[in-house]
Structure 1
């Protein structure tokens, strides 16, 4: 009688719509390319993972791709972790492997950290006990901030490998540090996990992958007692929620704004704005939406002066009046008031200093509002402007809104401007 296979792996891939082992091999190739290290596997390898003895993937990149694909730890896919009991030779080999891996991160992060940071990291990694150095946490924080700046310039797919490396390094280091520095590491880790979730979402990864990294961020925020970060991740989960699941979006945004956590005023303003959008999507009365938006403006008015936004600095430090008004316009669009959305977006896109990703995103929403307002030619021309900003770096949220607009413009498909937008979207690489 044959032994049962690894049903956990087989069940997980079927839940994701990969009905054959060949589907898994194709998905693996796509996700490895997404992470910046293109690789392929054979159907034979997938068959081995679904056997009664799947073992543990030896290659770190393989483990990373599988976790990105499925959005769960490998143990939940039926893989068998290496035995915890090791002899002294095994321990020394593991130590060498670990230092080699972390040393590889130092080389990979060198452009991010600069020569001073690289030397400091290399010195710290030379002795495992010095992983507890507070300066190392500072260098990791700097690397995360630079990865976020890189994302703004070149897009999520370019930044993903660095973000995942940072998460792995933080996880490795936290196992050997004393408690005070471990808390610092995990606080940076929560920021890195939330950023990685954002990158996956913007790069078009399946929702469960984004959810995995959001949950990792909440776990670390809870462990460290970082209540504002916990609430902030709930806000980001609300923003990532599908428009078709507006009730969940509303629950998450309300919890972020009104829960037992105390968000900074600017972050609370954004959470209230997201709650207003969810109210609009659930069909709440216009006065409820307007009242919640008014609360967002009150929170913003009570905030300290804005600061340059960074990934590791104060939450939503750069959240501005122009951004709140642009997001309020989206609320009006969702509430069936497209002309009001058009007026607000045009005004605040002209007045505000938005990062390229944000300008692309709000311009895409302007195109959608114009389409809903019955102005198909203006909508298509505006959509093409947004596409020029979003296509090269691959800003997925803006591209998603443009595809939504193209669908809304289907009744006008024969108009030259609309045809041009649809053709341009169709020609984008998958």
Structure 2
């Protein structure tokens, strides 16, 4: 049997939309779960089999899930139904005239495809809220991926590609002003997720570029919630960069938006992030005041209010404790930091894998700073291996933990235990 022909159509679509084999497998698995109630069983090697042409026609549920993710029929992605007759592969001895003729025919077909899509030959398409709903579904998938992994360059690229897809719809046909506003908001939301992935991966120059795009799109959308998200992310970015003055200025823009007066939950998030920045700025009084006010605002918020998916997916009591943990760790108040770490970890929802890894690592730092080397090391060893090796922020904090452990417990057997465990992480990564 001859070698299978590569599925170049699928490869081109993946490249255009920023999907790696692993990230597409994950997106299709989520879509399978929505369709069947059971998580799909694809991994990166499954997608590589698709691209290599070893799988020509995926199973029905998987195929439907892929079509939901891509918005295209499977045949348009290069898949061929079982039983369809394939053309005979080109012989190495095929004469050059035949090859030239096929090249010309292929060029004519490509030109015909372009002509068929030209604006002067196709009736204008009507863009509606169904298109917006489809984008919002993709945004929910981005949010879900972020909470499981976070910081991955593939996630950043996928979010940026989806922002472009939302913008392309603006020029794909006619639409009402409401629909156009929603398309700009969707593009801004995807850009803000690309920005956050870059922040989480410590790629700050990339994050700034995404931030500028996101801010412009958010202004065109007029969407207060997405404006808040972008400026709040900017405050977090500058906090991670050790620039508390800039962080406060950006976060103040978010806190000044009228959505914080309309919904106390937004006010609470703004205040909690303000407290985290105050911790970096070594303002003990300001930190405590901000978290007291953030807690009060959260208690006033209507739990049934309609909020965007990104807010519902992450901001709750656990996240408030997580931000307090970060602040008190920066202040050097390790006992209070440990208190908030335990509260955070006990309240985290199951899907918050990235947040669990960060909180666990910070707890280990707080315990080590209190002289509890054995307890701290046992805590740090609970961090999942994929987060320890693939998440830039977690990896750096664990490296700093190892350095602090060696400095404070030099010669102790626990140092050797930690060294061997960290090496095992790297080996299995």
- Residue correspondence of structure 1 range 105-184 to structure 2 within 5 A: 111=65, 114=68, 118=72, 129-130=124-125, 132-153=127-148, 156-177=152-173, 178=175, 180=177, 181-184=179-182
1:315 to 307, 311, 317: 311
Given that residues 189 and 220 in structure 1 are in contact (C-alpha distance below 8 angstroms), is that contact kept between their aligned partners in structure 2?
yes
- Once residues 388 and 306 of structure 1 are traced to their aligned partners in structure 2, the CA distance between those partners, rounded to angstroms, is 37
1:407 to 383, 403, 423: 403
Given that residues 228 and 261 in structure 1 are in contact (C-alpha distance below 8 angstroms), is that contact kept between their aligned partners in structure 2?
no
Pairwise CA RMSD: 3.4
How far did 1:188 drift?
A: 0.6
Question: What corresponds to 2:4 in structure 1?
Answer: none
How far did 1:357 drift?
A: 1.1
How far did 1:337 drift?
A: 0.6
Question: What corresponds to 1:62 in structure 2?
Answer: none
- Once residues 368 and 389 of structure 1 are traced to their aligned partners in structure 2, the CA distance between those partners, rounded to angstroms, is 20
What is the CA deviation profile of residues 183-211 of structure 1, one whole-angstrom value per residue up to 9, with x for unaligned ones?
2111111110011112223344x211011
Given that residues 337 and 363 in structure 2 are in contact (C-alpha distance below 8 angstroms), is that contact kept between their aligned partners in structure 1?
yes
- Once residues 390 and 207 of structure 1 are traced to their aligned partners in structure 2, the CA distance between those partners, rounded to angstroms, is 20
Q: TM-score, normalised by structure 2?
A: 0.65
- Once residues 423 and 36 of structure 1 are traced to their aligned partners in structure 2, the CA distance between those partners, rounded to angstroms, is 35
Does residue 1:364 correspond to 2:361, yes or no?
A: yes
Given that residues 357 and 389 in structure 1 are in contact (C-alpha distance below 8 angstroms), is that contact kept between their aligned partners in structure 2?
no
Question: What corresponds to 2:299 in structure 1?
Answer: 301
From the superposition, tell whether residues 352 and 176 of structure 1 become closer, same or farther in structure 2 (CA, over 3 Å). closer
What is the CA deviation profile of residues 148-200 of structure 1, one whole-angstrom value per residue up to 9, with x for unaligned ones?
32344455345344323312212222234445222211111111001111222
Does residue 1:375 correspond to 2:368, yes or no?
A: no
What is the CA deviation profile of residues 19-63 of structure 1, one whole-angstrom value per residue up to 9, with x for unaligned ones?
xxxxxxxxxxxxx9xx6669xxxxxxxxxxxxxxxxxxxxxxxxx
Runs of 5+ unmatched residues, structure 2: 1-14, 22-62, 77-115
- Once residues 135 and 261 of structure 1 are traced to their aligned partners in structure 2, the CA distance between those partners, rounded to angstroms, is 29
How far did 1:293 drift?
A: 0.9
- Residue correspondence of structure 1 range 241-256 to structure 2 within 5 A: 241=238, 242-256=240-254
Q: TM-score, normalised by structure 1?
A: 0.65
From the superposition, tell whether residues 111 and 168 of structure 1 become closer, same or farther in structure 2 (CA, over 3 Å). farther
Does residue 1:213 correspond to 2:167, yes or no?
A: no
Given that residues 367 and 380 in structure 1 are in contact (C-alpha distance below 8 angstroms), is that contact kept between their aligned partners in structure 2?
yes
How far did 1:378 drift?
A: 1.8
From the superposition, tell whether residues 321 and 413 of structure 1 become closer, same or farther in structure 2 (CA, over 3 Å). same
- Once residues 239 and 128 of structure 1 are traced to their aligned partners in structure 2, the CA distance between those partners, rounded to angstroms, is 46
- Once residues 158 and 199 of structure 1 are traced to their aligned partners in structure 2, the CA distance between those partners, rounded to angstroms, is 9
From the superposition, tell whether residues 267 and 413 of structure 1 become closer, same or farther in structure 2 (CA, over 3 Å). farther
Structure whose CA Rg is larger? 2
Partner SS state of residue 243, structure 2: helix
Partner SS state of residue 399, structure 1: helix
Question: What corresponds to 1:270 in structure 2?
Answer: 269
How far did 1:408 drift?
A: 2.6
Given that residues 363 and 379 in structure 2 are in contact (C-alpha distance below 8 angstroms), is that contact kept between their aligned partners in structure 1?
yes
Given that residues 202 and 397 in structure 1 are in contact (C-alpha distance below 8 angstroms), is that contact kept between their aligned partners in structure 2?
yes
Given that residues 265 and 297 in structure 2 are in contact (C-alpha distance below 8 angstroms), is that contact kept between their aligned partners in structure 1?
yes
Given that residues 321 and 343 in structure 2 are in contact (C-alpha distance below 8 angstroms), is that contact kept between their aligned partners in structure 1?
no
How far did 1:300 drift?
A: 0.5
Given that residues 332 and 340 in structure 1 are in contact (C-alpha distance below 8 angstroms), is that contact kept between their aligned partners in structure 2?
yes
Given that residues 272 and 293 in structure 1 are in contact (C-alpha distance below 8 angstroms), is that contact kept between their aligned partners in structure 2?
yes
2:222 to 211, 221, 225: 225
- Once residues 200 and 306 of structure 2 are traced to their aligned partners in structure 1, the CA distance between those partners, rounded to angstroms, is 22
- Once residues 329 and 395 of structure 2 are traced to their aligned partners in structure 1, the CA distance between those partners, rounded to angstroms, is 18
Does residue 1:192 correspond to 2:190, yes or no?
A: yes
Given that residues 149 and 391 in structure 2 are in contact (C-alpha distance below 8 angstroms), is that contact kept between their aligned partners in structure 1?
no
